[in-house]
Amino acid sequence: MPFVNVRITRDGVTAEQKAQVIAEITETLERVLNKRPELTHIVIEEIDTDNWGYAGMTTTRYRKQLAESQE
C-alpha cells in the first residue's frame, strides 16, 4: 500500500489543483511501479509560510525580501 505525503506552502492552491496532483501521483505509481490505485494513499499537507523556512529565514520573510529587491 503506497503512501505519499506531499508538503506544500499554503498559498492559494485550489481544490482542483490538489485533485490533479493526487490523480497524477496515483497514475504514476500505477504506471511505473504497478501499484493498485485503490490501495494508494496521497496526503497533501499545506504549511503556512511562517512555518516553512529555507535560506535561514521563513518563506514569508524570504518572499518579502525578494519582492523588495525587485522593486
Question: 1, 2, 17, 52: which one is catalytic?
Answer: 2
Residues 13, 41: Cα–Cα separation, whole Å: 20
Q: Is the overall model pTM greater than 0.85, yes or no?
A: no
Decide: 52 and 12 in contact? Cβ < 8 Å: no
* Domain that residue 49 falls in: 3-69
The CATH number of the domain holding residue 30 is: 3.30.429.10
Q: What is the DSSP code string of 41-64?
A: EEEEEEE-GGG-EETTEEHHHHHH
Q: Considering its fold, how many domains does the chain have in total?
A: 1
Q: Identify which of 66, 60, 56, 70 has the alpha carbon closest to the alpha carbon of residue 9.
A: 60
Residue 71: per-residue pLDDT: 84
The pLDDT of residue 69 is: 93
pLDDT in tens, the chain (71 residues): 999 999 999 988 999 999 999 999 999 999 999 999 999 999 999 999 999 998 899 999 999 999 999 98
Known catalytic residue at 37: no
Which residue shows C-alpha cell 529555507? 54
